[in-house]
Amino acid sequence: MTRLQLLTLHADICESARSLMSLKNQDYGGNDVMGNLRLIEQLFPGDSIEKGIIIRMGDKLSRLAVLTTQPAAVTSEKLEDTAADIINYCILFLAARSLRTKDPRTEKQVRIDTELAKLYIQDPTLAPKPEGETGYPPGWTPSKP
C-alpha cells in the first residue's frame, strides 16, 4: 500500500465513522451530544464520562478481537462497524476531555470542528479528501450506516 492509498483509506474510513456517529448520536444524545455518556456521572458519582467511554472502548476492542477469529453472531454489525465505533469513542473521549479541561484553545477548535462537521454532513462533497485512488485494500469496502 502506498502512502497516498493509506491516507485515502484513512479519509474514507473517517468519513464513514463520522456518518455513523451522526446517526448514532441522534439516537443516543438528542440535543446533548454527551447526554447518554453523562449518565455515568449520574449513576456513579465520582466516575467520569471519560471512564465510561474507556469501558465502552474496551467492550468494542473485545468484540473486535473476537471478530478477527470467528464470524459475527450479530451479522448486522460488521468488523468495520466495530472499528468505526472505536474511532468514534476516541473522538468522544477527546471531546469529553476538552470539556472537562476548559482549555479555551480546545473549546474554540471544538466549536470550529463542530461547525465544519455540520457543513460536511449537509454536503459531504465539501469534506477534504486526498486525490488519487480509493486506497481500499482488496475485498474491503466501507460500510454505510
Domain residue ranges of the chain, discontinuous segments joined by +: 3-126
Give the Cα separation of 50 and 52 in Å (integer).
5
Q: What is the rounded CA–CA span in Å between residue 58 and residue 76?
A: 20
Cell numbers for 7: 491516507
From residue 48, how far is each of 29, 43, 57, 126 by CA, in Å? 17, 10, 14, 35
Lowest mean pLDDT among 1-10, 111-120, 130-139: 130-139
**CA atoms within a 13 Å half-sphere pointing along the CA-CB vector of 74:** 9
Instruction: Give the H or E element holding residue 11.
Output: helix 3-28
CA dihedral for 77, 82, 88, 92, sign (positive or negative)? positive
- At 32-76, the pLDDT tens digits run 778 788 888 888 888 888 888 999 999 999 999 999 999 888 888
0.75 cut: is pTM over it? no
Give Cα separations from 74 to 3, 16, 48, 83 (angstroms): 34, 20, 30, 15
- What is the structure's pLDDT at 132? 46
